[in-house]
Structure 1
Amino acid sequence: MKKGIFIAVATISLSVISCKKSESGNKNVLKSDSSEVILADNGKVDSTVQYQTDVNGKKYIKTDYVYKATDGSLVKVVFNYEEKTMSVRSNNKTFILNKVESTGNETTYEKMDMKATVKGDSLILDQGNNIIQLVKTKI
């Protein structure tokens, strides 16, 4: 009888102690780091930047997309937000443009006579008299 009471008291006391809530929280939950937010030149969050995550969970801000022109040709575009550049590859030629300005929803890249404007899923390349409109594809 004493053993039964002892076991019951021990079980109840262990359950009360183990169910005690801790104010410090779960140490295994990862907190989001808001310091990695990229700001546009006007100080607002740049919506044209999208983070990628590698297999180890590390975030990086170099992204590549395939854009399609109105004539059906495909163009590979790589945005390197750390170096503030954009490279455009088409017909085995690569053009690297430097970021000039960003308003938060529109970013402009330029190099010599080539200018690129990125807004949402569209990319407009302007090279002299040639204007090429591109749309992001899901390939």
Structure 2
Amino acid sequence: MKKSILVLGAVLTLTAISCKKSESGNKSVIKADSSETLVTDTNGKVDSVTQSSSTIEVNGQKTEKTDFVYKATDGTLVKVVFKNDPKENTVAITSNKKTFTLPKTETKDGETIYKKDDMTARVKGDSLHLEQGNNIIELKRTKI
């Protein structure tokens, strides 16, 4: 009886020692960047919309790219990139590993229209109305 208790104690001690977690962790696992990006609007307030924005200035001319994530009514997530530079204003819509880039054609009544061939994107506020032939897709900007 005493021998079995001693053996059991030794096994438990060895198990506890061998299962001790190492603080260094697995060297083959890449650690995620824990930095947080806050996006502000033009008034300096923190924007609650999922977006990423960058501005590049070359020879006094600014190029601005703003990325948003939109959600379709069926739950599909779509990446939308607005690019504004002195030469052109475009929107690039990416879904299912396909990207459609549409140039800006007009702005009226707070609505911006991008069009190429039979595809039209109408952007007004937080919504994007996409038309291609007889297909109509409604997208809304996602919130954090």
Q: TM tier, shorter chain? A: 0.5 to 0.7
SS at match of 1:98: strand
Is 1:118 matched up with 2:123? yes
Q: Runs of 4 or more off by more than 3 Å in structure 1?
A: none
In 2, Cα distance between equivalents of 1:106 and 1:70? 20
Relative CO higher for 1 or 2, CA cutoff 8 Å, sep ≥ 6? 1
> What is the Cα deviation at residue 81 of structure 1?
1.3
Is 1:130 matched up with 2:135? yes
> What is the Cα deviation at residue 104 of structure 1?
5.7
Structure 1 gaps, min length 5: 1-51
Do the aligned partners of residues 137 and 128 (structure 1) sit closer, same or farther apart at CA in structure 2, a change above 3 Å counting? same
> What is the Cα deviation at residue 112 of structure 1?
0.5
SS at match of 1:72: coil
Structure 2 gaps, min length 5: 1-52, 56-61
Counterpart in the other structure of 2:114: 109
Is 1:73 matched up with 2:76? yes
In 1, Cα distance between equivalents of 2:54 and 2:64? 9
Pairs aligned (count): 86
Q: Sequence identity of aligned pairs in percent?
A: 61
- TM-score normalized by the length of structure 2: 0.55
> What is the Cα deviation at residue 123 of structure 1?
0.1
> What is the Cα deviation at residue 132 of structure 1?
0.1
Task: Please report the RMSD computed on the Cα atoms of aligned residues, expressed in angstroms.
Answer: 2.3
The letter of the residue matching 1:116 is A
> What is the Cα deviation at residue 103 of structure 1?
2.0
The letter of the residue matching 2:113 is T
Deviation per CA, 1:57-110: give whole Å up to 9, x if none: xx8621010000000000000000113010000000000001000126110000
Counterpart in the other structure of 1:27: none
